[in-house]
Amino acid sequence: MKKISAYIFIATVIFVTIGCKTEKKVTRYENLYKEKPAVIYIAPIIDKIERKKVVYADDLVFNREVNTAHAYMYQTLQAPVIRKGYYVIGPLAAKEIARVETASTEDLKFSHDLKDYNTKYGIDAILFVTINRWVEENGEWIVYLNYTLKSTKTAKNLMNYNVKAHKVVILDSKRDPQMSVADWDFADEFGTDNGSTQRARILECVSAYVLKNMPAGAKHKKFEQDIYNVANPECFDYLLDEENIINFATMELEEYEKECFDL
């Protein structure tokens, strides 16, 4: 009887172990594990925001907030990728590449032939970040984002995320956002105004959350050791509340697209 119980216990452990590994990272990052990119270039942010300045030229506050957040986001994308063990093209070199490669054409897009970036600059993959939409409603500032890592060798997607990111913003009697302790620290460090701080912080926080989920690169001590870690779903809802606590929930792609593009 004891032997039977032991066999049942062992079988249960094996079953549970196998069951856990069905959610391994390789199912989400299969192409990334196969190609093992080492050098990543972060493309200029694809900004699809329809700014009010087109209609309301005097709405300087809105324009400053959105533009500052956009510029700040690009500056903060490199650090989390580097921490995962990848070489990232430095800011000055990246700016020069963007100038040379997109000087007489539209901004670099997913559909472009990316092989030249590999042969000319040794870049293995390009990270595209798209800001699709900003919305302010029900005490929250919401931004709809897409993160796509694309191979310059095979043109395959190595990573893809659609994220609805929002931050709870408490308004004062003048309808201005009240800043949390983290907001004040951020504003003090970077010299941003209230509105820009709210937008820039949510962009930085969600980018760090998304990119730290990438598999470790070749120069990371955990290279190929995280294959059985559970990956984030490809579409999710990310909320940063008034106490600076992250709330996370899976989101259906259809729901994301309906909210983001008013489908």
DSSP states of 149-214: EEETTT--EEEEEEEEEEEE--B-TTSPBPP-HHHHHHHHHH---HHHHHHHHHHHHHHHHHHTTS
Range of the domain at 22: 2-261
Number of structural domains the chain divides into:
1
Low-confidence ranges of the chain (pLDDT < 50): 2, 6-22, 52-55, 104-106
Question: What does the pLDDT read at residue 59?
Answer: 66
Question: What does the pLDDT read at residue 190?
Answer: 77
* Per-residue pLDDT tens digits for 157-198: 999 999 999 988 877 766 667 777 788 888 888 777 777 888
Indicate the pTM of the whole model. 0.83
CATH at residue 110 = 3.40.50.10610
Cα separation, 252 vs 263, in Å, equals: 14
Question: What does the pLDDT read at residue 69?
Answer: 83
Sign of the alpha-carbon torsion through 78, 84, 88, 92:
positive
